[in-house]
Amino acid sequence: MSATDKPLLSVRELKKHFPIKGGILGRTQAMVQAVDGVSFDVRAGETLGIVGESGCGKSTTAKLLIGLVDRDEGDIDLDGKSLGRDISLRALRRDIQMVFQDSYASLNPRMTILDSIAFGARVQGLDDPVGRARRLMARVGLDPDRFAGRYPHELSGGQRQRINIARALVMSPKVVVLDEAVSALDKSVEAQVLNLLSDLRAEFGLTYIFISHDLNVVRYISDRILVMYLGEVVELAPVDMIWAEQAHPYTRSLFSAMPSMDPDNRTQKPPLTGDPPNPIDPPPGCRFHTRCAFAADVCKTRHPALGPMVAGSPHWVACHLHDPASGHPRAGQGVPA
């Protein structure tokens, strides 16, 4: 492995189960398996898109990465240094920053936006926090002379999200986690912010982890896509490969659920029935087997491992259909058309 291939961020077997307490004694009744054994690498300068439906654990994964939620198990390595062993959370946060979906809730309403942006730099003891903040405001397209003294409620949603991006960049981080960062914006404003994110990535050499439910947005901005279902990774591949072939039946359903843009060729049949199941007590074996059209007996009992579709391929999938030795009657034939 050459030096440039070494991952900037490496996540191994990340696990987070939330207890559900109830009853008079407040005892734990069940566990929500929000994130259950998630592993992936992100190379420097790369953008990894994470997609999945509500409850699949994509936001919990994001929060685990920057330590907003404590992990139960697993390793997070940044630049070869392990969080908790080699570097502290405080040091990690200088290198990994996050932008949230709700631009208003993520800003302190009593702080001017200049103070909000400068706050992190001040806390981390960086020099000239105000100067940094003003330069970044100008860079995200908000004139510091006009906007520095304003409060979050005086700005539009698009402007506030620009402020949140500036705030994330004030520490000169290596990685920015964008959790549905453009989802609440109107389409025309979303396009402006996506352009800004692309520019900033090139200018500052940033690495993004881009979480969204909108496949078109993820395709546009990402180099690789990671698909999650009920707390697990089911597929991981470069964008072009996954766009050409969705190897996991769930990924395929997710892609065919996208509304058609062709009035002459509208969707005729929903790819799945029912809602995604609850991550409390997920099904045994393959978690998708309860909704999968190709489920066989082996899917109900044996958990498929995530691995390359063919040896050495960057296209990874966790499905018995792709494993010739799995015992699935159609094993090795791939997903039927």
Partner 1 sequence: MTPLLQIDNLDVRFKGARTVHAINDLSLTLMPGETLALLGESGSGKSVTLKTLLRLLKEKRTDLSGDIRFDGTDIMTLSGRALRSYRGGDVSMVFQDPGLALDPVYTVGQQIAETVMRHKGLSRENAMDVALDMLQRVRIPSPKRRLANYPHELSGGMRQRVMIALALACRPRLLLADEPTTALDATVQIQILLLLRELQREFGMGVIFVTHDIGVAVEISERIAVMYAGQIVEEGTTHEVIRNPRHPYTQGLLAANLHDVARGARLDAIPGAPPSLEVRPDSCSFAPRCPMALPACRQALPPVLTPGPRRRVACLRAGETLAAE
Residues lying near partner 1 in the complex (CB under 8 A): 53-54, 156, 158, 186-192, 194-195, 198, 213, 215-217, 219-221, 239, 253-254, 257-264, 266-276
Q: What is the Cα–Cα distance from 285 to 298, expressed in whole angstroms? A: 8
User: 20 vs 305, which CB is nearer to partner 1?
Assistant: 20
User: 52 vs 120, which CB is nearer to partner 1?
Assistant: 52
Cβ at position 122, least distance to partner 1 in Å? 31
Q: Which amino acid is at 226?
A: L
User: 253 vs 326, which CB is nearer to partner 1?
Assistant: 253
Cβ at position 193, least distance to partner 1 in Å? 9
Cβ at position 96, least distance to partner 1 in Å? 23
Cβ at position 97, least distance to partner 1 in Å? 22
User: 18 vs 255, which CB is nearer to partner 1?
Assistant: 255
Cβ at position 253, least distance to partner 1 in Å? 6
User: 13 vs 203, which CB is nearer to partner 1?
Assistant: 203
Cβ at position 213, least distance to partner 1 in Å? 6
| Other Cβ atoms closer than 10 A to 263 | 6
User: 122 vs 213, which CB is nearer to partner 1?
Assistant: 213
Own/partner long-range contacts of 271-278 (Cβ < 8 Å, ≥24 apart): 276/53, 276/54, 276/55, 276/56, 276/229, 276/230, 277/230, 278/55
User: 100 vs 229, which CB is nearer to partner 1?
Assistant: 229
Are 51 and 58 contacting, i.e. CB atoms less than 8 angstroms apart?
A: yes
User: 70 vs 262, which CB is nearer to partner 1?
Assistant: 262
User: 91 vs 258, which CB is nearer to partner 1?
Assistant: 258
Are 98 and 207 contacting, i.e. CB atoms less than 8 angstroms apart?
A: no
**Residue length, the chain?**
337
Burial class (CB within 10 angstroms; exposed 0-12, middle 13-18, buried 19+) of 246? buried
Are 262 and 308 contacting, i.e. CB atoms less than 8 angstroms apart?
A: no
Percent helix, strand, coil in the chain, to 5, is: 30, 25, 45
Q: How far is CA 274 from CA 98, 213, 271, 288, 292, in A?
A: 33, 18, 10, 13, 12
- What is the maximal distance between C-alpha atoms in the chain? 68
With the C-alpha atoms ordered 286, 289, 292, 295, is the resulting torsion angle positive or negative? positive
Q: Which helix (H) or strand (E) holds 295?
A: none
Cβ at position 118, least distance to partner 1 in Å? 25
Cβ at position 158, least distance to partner 1 in Å? 6
Parallel, antiparallel or unpaired: strands 232-238 and 224-229: antiparallel
Cβ at position 195, least distance to partner 1 in Å? 5
Give the burial string for 122-161 (b: 16+ CB within 10 Å, else e): eeeeeeebeebbbebbebbebebeebbeeebeebeebbbb
